[in-house]
Structure 1
Amino acid sequence: MKTPIPDYLGQILDSVRDRDGGEVADYIPDLATAEPERLAAAVCTVSGNVYSAGDDGDEFTMQSVSKPFVYALALQELGRDAVFDAVGMEPSGEAFHELSLEEGTHRPMNPMINAGAITVNQLINGEDSSVEDRVEVIRGFFSELAARELKVNEWVTDSELEHADRNLSIAHMLRSHGIIRDNAHEAVLSYTRQCAIEVTVRDLAVMTATLANGGVQPVTGRRILNQDVCRLTLSVMSSAGMYDAAGRWMATVGIPAKSGVSGGLIGTLPGQLGIATFSPRLNPQGNSVRGVHIFERLSEEMGLHLMAADPSGTHAVRSIQSDGEDTVINLQGPVNFTAAENILDEISGREFPGERLILDVSRVSGFHRMGRKMVKEGLRRLREDGFEVAIYDPEGVVADLEFSDGTHAESVEER
């Protein structure tokens, strides 16, 4: 059985293709020539399953999407106190490139705005590090998160440096207050090369899922970050990751997120999954127009709002038992998107000995509408593969037994 999740992602992409509002980041020459119609999305679960759709193999530079990962690296290298001494944690309520610092301390307000990100960049590999060594540490760390070797796009770096007056002003301001010690040009060069590291949406989904997984890279199984580092990073993303739109974002979408002016957008749900989208057209806040709409749909349709009261089930398959020609798949707990993905993953690669599959939902406490849709589609595809399929549902928790093709699932009275 082929899992329907990439098809769902493809449907969501199709639903936003006609949204042509916003503009590419024309203040950076290389990004000004970006193809505005490119569109992609990817999801990686904490169990290491990656699903994607659209232009998922296209590479683009991370830009500000790099900020939470470098913040996590600084916390891992130096510890919380040292990083807090250099940069705060409060949302600024201002645009990402504002020339503003905290009153009294002169620290940047948070690590997600440019002033904070330049400061955090300068912490990596020690204050005496060369630009080359610092960027190599960051590139190597990102490659470990993505489980493949990533590279810096030097062409984009040069393009951005030609128009880096604003960031140079920020760096001079930080240096004048003793927040950074490197000269302004080298600080901006180091930060710009960090932002010019190239990724795909699949890379970003895996990297973000590492934060969701408490620092364990879900594909390789290697622990890269401490759990408290991930918790702090996600906390800052939730309050400041979407700049001056962060409050509205958390209220409506409810997914800790970070955007970048190349069109990337990442989000993560602790203990569940990482999400990434790519679409170059930006709104006035510098966030991807289509990416925002995709996240809004994912949050609403898949029940991914962090503050939702719905419980999540990550071990939804209680057991699979075969008896003669029948195989019974026993489910348990609440079935939302995460639980449904777990169910589909359990059954999609398995060979069943008999001819009939019975889905026992007697221990399921409830279905989220997307969970129900995904599980039913899985059954329908198993039927297409040649199995007889049926549902044992004595409490009527599935409610609607109609498949996507208009046919209905068989219901059995006993198993």
Structure 2
Amino acid sequence: MADLQDLLDTIAADMAAIEERGRSADYIPALARVDPARFGIAVVTAEGHSFTAGDAETPFSIQSISKVFMLTLALGKHGDALWRRVGREPSGSAFNSIVQLEFEHGIPRNPFINAGAIVVADAVLDRGAPQGAIGELLRFMRFLAEDDAVEIDIEVAGSEARTGFRNLALANYMKAFGNLRNAVDDVLNVYFNQCALAMSCRQLAMAGRYLSADGLHPGTGHQVISARRARRVGALMLTCGHYDGSGEFAFRVGIPGKSGVGGGILGIVPGKASIAVWSPGLNERGNSLLGSLALERLSEATGWSIFNGGLSI
């Protein structure tokens, strides 16, 4: 295990030496102010060992990584009926694209693009009050991470609401097709708050453990989601978790992953580990530039690609 700590330390040092760090998500004002020099990484193994390097204890806005956990909640409420409202195919388009919705009659291509995540937020809201759904997610994240310090960054949520005009358009468009059951403002209230979850790499890696353990919460033994659904969430992470950069991420890293424009990535190695990495600078497709590189190096050094040696989704 000392080798894994040494590896993370080496990766963190290598990332610190790289000058090209990408560009922060400046279209969300609260994210534009994040120091681009920050980098953190955390790994929690199947045996329960935790390893960190860099800024792994610094909270950051997990943004679209939250879509993995909201999908888990929605599947718990609605089961496979959810798939009548959102697809399971890669989009091939930007995460906030509206183009495909017209051709596909208001059914988003997958739950990890913005339109799909808005439908999932509507399913979790389930005709309730936004505060109830937000509270449910926050309690869920604290349970998964075994840490009551997980919070929603109110400043980021407000910043999202003030600038989220494209998400408003997506929601209204799907409402016109009958694919949102609740008021648009209520659904977006939930969506903006879920994206504003603030977590450190360590907390996020802890929260993702159930997806690497056939849906089981290793700390409590609670079955968070069935093993079958955990595998299917992992499959969607691999094929859709990095938007139109998902194929490149699968090619280079080879593990299921979900990115967020806050610069975080959650990686899942079935049966082996949950990984979280954070570097706020994004590449041209909206995914963490150094985070992707760090996971590529980690996968190569450990052999944790699902295409290597019997690992599978």
**Common fold by TM > 0.5:** yes
Give the letter aligned to residue 247 of structure 1: G
Equivalents in 1 of 2:286, 2:94: separation in Å? 9
CA contact (8 A) 1:102 1:108 kept: no
Greater helix share, structure number: 2
Equivalents in 2 of 1:249, 1:277: separation in Å? 14
Equivalents in 1 of 2:106, 2:125: separation in Å? 23
CA contact (8 A) 2:90 2:243 kept: yes
* Structure 2 residue aligned with 1:363: none
* Structure 1 residue aligned with 2:242: 242
Tell me how far 1:192 sits from its aligned partner.
Answer: 0.5
* Structure 2 residue aligned with 1:356: none
CA contact (8 A) 1:10 1:53 kept: yes
* Structure 1 residue aligned with 2:304: 304
Task: Please report the TM-score for the alignment, with normalisation by the length of structure 1.
Answer: 0.72
CA contact (8 A) 2:86 2:111 kept: yes
1:84-163 alignment, distance < 5 Å: 84-99=83-98, 100-101=100-101, 103-126=103-126, 128-149=127-148, 150-163=150-163
Give the letter aligned to residue 24 of structure 1: S
Equivalents in 1 of 2:95, 2:73: separation in Å? 21
Identity rate, percent: 36
CA distance change for structure 1 residues 153 and 266 in 2, over 3 Å: closer, same or farther?
same
User: Does structure 1 residue 183 correspond to structure 2 residue 188?
Assistant: no
Give the letter aligned to residue 124 of structure 1: V
CA contact (8 A) 1:46 1:210 kept: no
Structure 1 spans left out of the alignment, 5+ residues: 313-415
Equivalents in 2 of 1:103, 1:302: separation in Å? 43
* Structure 2 residue aligned with 1:227: 227
CA contact (8 A) 1:49 1:219 kept: no
Three-state SS of the structure 2 residue aligned to 1:70 is helix
* Structure 2 residue aligned with 1:393: none
CA contact (8 A) 2:22 2:282 kept: yes
Tell me how far 1:252 sits from its aligned partner.
Answer: 2.2
User: Does structure 1 residue 205 correspond to structure 2 residue 205?
Assistant: yes
Equivalents in 2 of 1:49, 1:125: separation in Å? 35
CA contact (8 A) 2:105 2:177 kept: no
Equivalents in 2 of 1:298, 1:224: separation in Å? 27
After superposition, the CA RMSD in angstroms is: 1.5
Give the letter aligned to residue 114 of structure 2: N
1:366-377 alignment, distance < 5 Å: none
Three-state SS of the structure 2 residue aligned to 1:271 is coil
1:211-360 alignment, distance < 5 Å: 211-308=211-308, 310-311=309-310
Higher mean Cα deviation, 110-119 or 135-144? Answer: 135-144
CA distance change for structure 1 residues 104 and 34 in 2, over 3 Å: closer, same or farther?
closer
Three-state SS of the structure 2 residue aligned to 1:124 is helix
- 1:225-264 residue CA offsets vs partner (Å, 9 max, x unmatched): 2212211111111110011011122122111101001111
Give the letter aligned to residue 130 of structure 1: A
Three-state SS of the structure 2 residue aligned to 1:79 is helix
* Structure 1 residue aligned with 2:24: 24
Equivalents in 1 of 2:139, 2:29: separation in Å? 27
CA contact (8 A) 1:125 1:137 kept: no
CA contact (8 A) 1:216 1:223 kept: yes
Equivalents in 1 of 2:124, 2:102: separation in Å? 22
CA contact (8 A) 1:60 1:199 kept: yes
- 1:43-68 residue CA offsets vs partner (Å, 9 max, x unmatched): 11122211111111101121001111
Give the letter aligned to residue 224 of structure 1: V
Q: Which has the larger radius of gyration?
A: 1
User: Does structure 1 residue 38 correspond to structure 2 residue 35?
Assistant: no
CA contact (8 A) 2:21 2:36 kept: no
- 1:288-336 residue CA offsets vs partner (Å, 9 max, x unmatched): 111011011011111111112x247xxxxxxxxxxxxxxxxxxxxxxxx
Greater strand share, structure number: 1
CA contact (8 A) 1:206 1:217 kept: no
Tell me how far 1:123 sits from its aligned partner.
Answer: 0.5
Give the letter aligned to residue 176 of structure 1: A
Equivalents in 2 of 1:3, 1:21: separation in Å? 28
Equivalents in 2 of 1:21, 1:201: separation in Å? 18
Structure 2 spans left out of the alignment, 5+ residues: none
Tell me how far 1:26 sits from its aligned partner.
Answer: 0.6
* Structure 2 residue aligned with 1:164: 164
Runs of 4+ residues over 6 Å off in structure 1? none
